[in-house]
Every structure is written in structure tokens, then in C-alpha cells.
Amino acid sequence: METGSLKRVLFLTGTRADFGKIKPLIKNLDSNPDFETQVFVTGMHLMKRYGSTANEVIRSNFKNVFLYMNQDATYHQSMDFTFANTVNGLGRYIREFPADLMVIHGDRIEAMAGALVGVLNNMRVAHIEGGELSGTIDDSLRHAISKLAHLHFVANDEARVRLIQMGEKPESIYVIGSPDIDVMLSKALPDIAEVKSHYEINFDDYFILLVHPVTTEIDSLESNLEELTQAIEASGKNFVVIYPNNDLGAETIFKAYQELEENPHFRILPSVRFEYFLTLLKHSGGIVGNSSAGIREASVYGVPTIDVGTRQNRRLKHTSIVSVGWERKAILHALQSLPKSTPVSLNFGSGDSAEQFLKALQTDALWQLPIQKEFCDL
């Protein structure tokens, strides 16, 4: 990168989960004189129901933070409407505050909006953790975002190969690992006593329950949740329950959780700060549900996972993961036979993603890649 050439980098975040992943990247650039960072905060961050996690972004003390409410929780809002609102607000923002690069993460609808806005405004777009498989509509969104993005920062070689298979230029792909592992393996996490006190968790031993709706299986969601809640209640185990994302079907999950509120074995939380969540996960007996945290983060700590349903059925499976359907007996059996610990996995990185990300952005080669994309034949 040319000496004295300041680069403005815009990060887009819509959820507590994606912010936890990109936070190390923002922090590394925010303290570097060669870069000026901007953080566009939207989505679930601005919703009271989910804990108003925009406050977590603000507390990080990044220099330029902008809040934009693209939805609210007073009525059901479809994903396409949320997408349109995000395109509208983000488009206005970048015309007022232009950037040289937009950084987006994963497979959420806000990331899709960011990729489209960037491309239509001749702004380079970098996609974090593309090239992966999950098993639901998330795959379609993730791959569509990858096809719009100019730069790819992926977790492993398997993801890199998939992007090349999709026609992406090899020189546009950087294998840096998953940025959240930087946080997971750091020595800066809060201790478990602090986390339990902060969230008023009174259990000595507990599991984590984290379930998100599968929009393509919405008709069976209510009956699936009934099977799940019956199983975990019958287990007699303690659970820290965390709210789902805000995809179609979230209301059905909220309704199911209302039935658990009076049970002393359950502590239900709208949201948990990422670092606090990692400490909870690290000290838990296991994680139950269909969150990618059970596939990626849990395996780094050697924490067992009961992966329920199809949402993650195409993810890489580690020995820490037991996959089951939504049947009560299968879930209960898995809970009763789950090991206390399993071997750790570093398939998604070794804790130096932020450093590798910064080094890539400091090279001339990255900024010389053309904005006009071309399909690269195999």
C-alpha cells in the first residue's frame, strides 16, 4: 500500500454474532494510522427485544459508529422488506460517507444488502467466511454474497476451493481463519463467576440452548419445538436459553420459551455479549440446538454439541458433534449420553485472523484487483 495513502474501511454489522466475529478486525484497523474505520450498525442490534446490542458496539469505542434502524419488533416484518430498508439506508450512508472498502460477514440479509449496495456504487466489497456450507437458505445467501464480493477472507482451504469452484479468482481469496477464534483463544475473556453474576445465572452445571428458525421448514417449527422442549424438560438438566435470530419463525420460538419461564431449570436471556457467551460456552456441559456456534466455536473448546435438525447438516462435523432429528426420544438420549468433553478442533483457524487481515490490506496487490469482476473458469 502506498505510503501516506489513507484507506477508509466500512464494516457492516447486523447481529451480536457477526459483530463478535468482525470486532477483532475492526480493532486492528481502528488503531492503525493507515486506515480509518467506519461501523454501520443495523438489524437486531437496534431492537430492544434482542437486548439493544448496539450498546455493545458503542462501548467498544470505535471512532466512527453509525446506527440505522432497518426494522422493528412491533409487527411481523418480512426478510425482503428488511433487505430493502437496509439497501435504502446503507446506500444513503455511503454516498454521504464514502469508503474504499466495505467489509461484510456471513450469510445474513444485511450482508446481502451490503454486498449489493457496494457493487452498485463501485465500492470494493470484502466477504468474511464465504465458501462454507450449512444446509438451508443461508447457503443461497452466502454464495450470492460471495459472487458479488471482490475479496474473500475465508476460514480454511476447503472454503477457498469452493470459491474457486464458483468462479472466483484465486488471488482474491485469503485464508485467514475465523476471526472469532482470535477472541476465543485470547486471555482477555471474563471469568465464569463474573458472567454468572452479570446474567444472574444460579446454576453450577448447565447446558446452552440456542435455536434459530429454518425458514424453509416453517410449517413444522411448532411441532419440532414441542419435541425439543419436552426432551430438555425431561432431562432434568439446567439450561441457559438465548433468544433466536429474527428470521421468519422467531415468534414461534418465543412462544415456546414462554412455557419454560417458570421452570427453575431455565434461565432465558435475550442476548449475551460475545465474550461473555464464549465464557459460558467454555464452561458449559454442552450446547443444544441448531446454531453454528455448536459446530464452530464449541469444537474449539472441546465442548460437546447436540446439533438438532437440518440447519447445519452440511457443515464440517467434528467428533464433538452429535446430530439428531427433532424427535423427543433422540434428543433426550443424546443429552443423557453426551460426553463431558471431546478433542478440540482448530479447523477454522488458530487465533491470528486479525493480524493476517491487516497484512492483506497493507499490500498493493489487494487494492490493485479490479472492481469489475470476471468469472474465472476452471
Share above pLDDT 70 across residues of the chain, in percent, rounded to a whole number: 98
User: Is 320:345 a contact under the CB 8 Å cutoff?
Assistant: yes
pLDDT class for 1, splitting at 50, 70, 90? low
The separation between CA 366 and the C-alpha centre of its own chain, rounded to angstroms, equals: 25
Whether pLDDT at 2 is above 70: no
- Domains along the chain with CATH numbers: 7-184+350-368 (3.40.50.2000), 192-337 (3.40.50.2000)
| 160, 166, 172, 175 alpha-carbon torsion, rounded to 10° | -10
pLDDT exceeds cutoff 70 at 4: no
Residue 65 and residue 61: Cα distance in Å, rounded? 9
pLDDT at position 317: 78
Kindly state the average pLDDT of the residues 358-372.
95
Give yes or no for residue 92 having a pLDDT over 60.
yes
**Residue 305, pLDDT score:** 96
Q: How does residue 77 score in pLDDT terms, banded at 50, 70 and 90?
A: low
158, 317 Cβ separation under 8 angstroms:
no
Surface-to-core class of residue 363, CB atoms within 10 Å of its CB (0-12 exposed, 13-18 middle, 19+ buried): exposed
State pLDDT tens for residues 166-218: 999 999 999 999 999 999 999 889 999 999 999 999 999 999 999 999 988 99
Q: Which of 110, 113, 144 has its CA nearest to residue 130?
A: 144
Q: How many CA atoms lie less than 13 Å away from 79 in the CB half-sphere?
A: 20
Residue 84 has pLDDT above 80, yes or no: yes
Lowest mean pLDDT among 20-34, 67-81, 350-364: 67-81
- How many Å apart are CA 255 and CA 306, to the nearest integer? 22
